[in-house]
Structure 1
Amino acid sequence: MRRLLLSLAFALSAPPAFAQGTEEEPQAAPGSIAIGMIEQVDGDGIFDLVHDGAVTVRHTRSGLICRFLRNGDGGRLIIFNPPTDPAHSAEITIPRGDDVACEMEEGGAHIRYFATRYPFGSTLDEQIAGVEAAIRGRNANATRYPGESTRNTEDGLPLRRTTRFIITQQGVRTYTRASVARVGDWILKLRYSAPAPDDAAAAHADQAADRLFDGALDEIINPRTQ
């Protein structure tokens, strides 16, 4: 009997057989990942958490919603800081938090949203011209991709301007575009790039970018309650 009791006690004290090498690593909650992104850029009060069970962050001033992959991979928030060089102290600068971006990867596409409130004003034409110059400056062989350059307000969204190019990026044929719109005092911009080995892939990327930008604008104009 004594031997039986000792054997039973040993069996009860042993860890379960599945405890070694079979349990998955615990995953951080989506909300914790989003909060970590905000803390990483010292963005408390500039960004806040959207309570939707996903890794979703809102820019509090513009209303821009940033939706990341559930584990946060490939995503980050950006706060563009005003220049600190004393030589430029007399220049008009944008307050911290009035020039932000969020970027993410989705299905092989690189996506970046911008929200900027310019103290001196800026037109959509100026924004598009600046992006086109930057794209051509980095890609001497950039060729225009056809598509609507202006989309009007008949769908309830603000006027949108878009420019599109096919470029070669690290040896890969790539579709890239920029879309801009104004909501109140804010200029909203989408930069979208995706591999486009053929025209069908480019057309698919163009449609995807339209949906993303329209969706982002709609969430700003028609905010959902958290």
Structure 2
Amino acid sequence: MSTLFIVGTPIGNLGDITFRAVETFKSVNVIAAEDTRHTLQLLNHLEITKPLISCRSQNEEFASQKIIKLLDEGQTVAYASDAGTPGISDPGAVLAGLARKAGHTVVPIPGPSAFASLVSVAGAGGKTLIFEGFLSPKPGRRRSRLRELLATGDAIVLYESPFRIVKLLVDIAEIDGTRRVVVGRELTKLHEEIVEGTAEEIRDDFANRDKVLGEFAVFISGVKKSKLSDESTDI
């Protein structure tokens, strides 16, 4: 049996690559990637040359079988998504599960993630934190799921694109405008921006800009559950 390494890579700033990630890329026989062109840029920066194989969300199960065949042959493989930690709103989970089921060792090489980066500076988290990733792009489904998440009273972290960030903030403001919201835009990158306020305040900020660019992570604060609500569950 062989080893599959699941490698976290920078979400923007190349200086965030870990020593262990670099050594892993250097040591394996093959590197599998969500987008080989994107990963090739990182490898060129690190002056590492390795055979590359594609494993995207659209073909992850099919590509995983090719990777498992390589593992069966005794080759070691590292997997990297385009940015951040594979399996967190990125492909990689299917591959890891199938590789372990096939009897191979799956080793995590921890690295950056927008989720952890935003939570670290949000200033609040509580004991329970829900990570939902990207909500549905369909307005009805997005609002329905958002209502369910906000009804838990727990803190929530979402991802969103620049094309829908204002719509998401509109929905949060309409469903529960009392929540404290922290939005991270282009985390770790040159134009990194962290904005805090109510959903309405941040919505107005972005809605009044000429152009909204970048990838977004959104932290929504939790609310303290009342004692009465807690006691009612014991009835």
TM-score by length of 1: 0.28
Question: Counting helix residues as a fraction of each chain, which structure ranks higher?
Answer: 2
Higher share in strand: 1
Q: Which structure would you say has the larger RCO, counting Cα contacts within 8 Å and 6 or more residues apart?
A: 2
The TM-score normalised by the length of structure 2 is 0.27
